[in-house]
Structure 1
Amino acid sequence: MLSYLLIMNFITGQEYERPSLLDFVGSAQQQTGIIWGAKQPRCVIITTGGRHGKNAGYNDLQNPDGTWTYIGQGSKGNQNPAKFSNSLLVDGERDVLLFTTREPTAKEIKENGHGGKKYRFQGIFQVVSWELKKATAGDRKDDHLIHFLLIETQNVFDKLELYISKSQPSHNQKGYFKEKLKDLGNNLTNKVKQKQSVTEYLYRSALVKDYALYRANGICELCTKPAPFITSLKMPFLEVHHILRLSDDGPDLPINVAAVCPNCHREAHFGINHEEIKIKLMKIIEEKEKVFWG
C-alpha cells in the first residue's frame, strides 16, 4: 500500500496501540519514544513520555501557542544531540508524527488482556529548534536534556490548506531571492537550528515557498503547462510541493521544493507513480537550480 494511504489511517485525535505505530514505519523498537524504520524513510514517530516518563525527565507538553516541547532520548546523564534517535530530529529531514501516551484503565486491561499503552495521534509536525536545558528537579536534576520545539504542519492529508504567495513573482526579484537566501546561510541545509524562534522558522518557510513560485514564473515545474487560472490577487495559481516530505509546509531547501499545478500536486502525493514523479521532479529542479544560480 502506498505511504500516503497508510498515513491516512492515522486520524488526528484517535488512539492506537504501539504495534500499529511500529508496523507503519517497519520497526521492532519496544521502548524508545522515537521510532523509525526503513518502511517510511520520510518520517519519524515520536511518543510522549506518559505517566512514568515524567519521573525520568520526559516532561513533554503542549505550549500555549499550540507548539509542543518534546524531550530527547537518553535515560541517564546528559542527553546527546548526536545520538542516532535524537539526530533524526536535529537533522530536520523528516516529518514528525506526534502521538501522546495514555496508560490504559483497569477496565481496558481486563477487556484486552494486556496493559499496553494507548497512543493518540496529534498530527504531523516539524522541528523548529532544539536546545539543551538543565533539569532543575526530579530524577534527572542537573542533567542537560534536549528540548525540541515542534510546530504542526498544514498538509494535504487533512486540512488541504495551500500556500499562496501574496507577491507577484517577477524577473527583477532574482537578486532579492539570492540575497535573502544567502541571509539564511551560504550553506543552507535542513539541519535544525538551536534556539530558533517560531517567527524565524515561519520567515524561512515563506521565503523558500515564495522563491519556488518565482522560479516557476507561472508555469508548472512538472508538466510545464501554464497555471490553470489567475487568482483574485492577479497571480497565476500554483501550489508548493515538498518533494522529499509527506507534508507541504515548513522550511526546506530550495532544491527540494517545486511549484506545481493542482493536478500534478495531487498526483505527486496520491498517484500510483508518485515515486517516479519524485525522481523526475528532483532532476527537473536540480537543472533549474543550476541555471538560476549560474
Structure 2
Amino acid sequence: MAKWLDRNVYTQNLIGNKDSPDGKKSSATDQPGLKQMTLKAIDILQARSSDKGWVLMSEAASIDKQMHTLDYDRALGELLELDDTIKATLAHLDALGTLNNTLVIVTADHGHGFDVMGSVDTKYLAAQTTDRSKRGAIGTYQNSGLSQYTDANSETGPMSNSSSHNNTSIRYTNGTFFPANWDPRYTLFSAIGADPDRRENYEVHKDGPRVPAVNITGFPSNDYYFDYKDAVSGFIVNGTLPVNDNQGVHSLTDVPVFARGPCQEMFGECTITSTFFFGMADCLGLARART
C-alpha cells in the first residue's frame, strides 16, 4: 500500500500503478490509512466478540520499511499516522464504553539508530559545486537554527508543499500534528548509524519512496553504489555497511513501551520483547496454572 506521504501530499505518485483492488488495473487512489483500518477492525471485533473479548494488533509496518531505505520523510509520515491512530483508537474505545476494560500497548520490535543532529539549508547546498562545499550547508549546535516544517500562514493549507514562507509558528492540522510544509528550505540533518553508500541533499523525495543504492556495474550482482538519481543536488556519503547491502539495518537501541488500561503496571520496565507475550497472557488469564 502507498505510504501516508504519497496518499495525502504527493498523490500524483498513486497514478499509473495499476493496483486497484477490483482487479481492473486502474490506480488505487482511495486507499485507506492505518487509522481507518484500525477503527473498522475494532468495530468488527466489537460486534462479533464484545461478550468474550478480543485481541487486535495494528502495525505501522512502513515506518521500518522507509527507515531501511533512509526515506526519513516517509518514515515520519508513517510514525505520525501511528500516533494519530492511537489517539483515535483511545477516543473510539471511550465512545464504545470499553476503554477502561481494554489493555492498550504501544511499542516497537527494534530501532534503526536514527537521530537528528541539526538542520540543513537545502538551497545553499544545491548552489554549491563540490561535495566538500555542500557539506557547509549543515548546521549543528548554535548554527542549527529552526527547521520550517510548520507554517501558520493562512494562505497555505495543512498539506502545503510551498517553501516560500519562513513562519515557524506551529499549526495543529485537524488534531493530527502532521507538518504543514514537507518541502521547506531548512530541513533536518538526520541519519542512521548503519547505512549503504548514498547521496544526500536532505530534501523530501517527491516522486515516490527513496532508493538510495543500486547496482550500476551488473557484476557482481550484489555490489551496490550510491544512486545518483536519488539526490542529484546532493553529495556522496560513504556507507558503513558491506557493499552487498543496499539498505540500512536495525540497531540495538532501546525502544519505548507505553501501556494503558488493566495490567498496565506490568509493562513499565526495561525488558526483552518476548516478555510482552507472557505479560499479555497473564493479564488475560491465559497463563498455564502451576502444578
Q: TM-score range with shorter-chain normalisation? A: under 0.3
Structure in which a larger fraction of residues adopt strand: 1
- TM-score, length-scaled by structure 2: 0.25
- Structure 1 or 2, whichever has the larger Rg, is 2
- TM-score, length-scaled by structure 1: 0.25
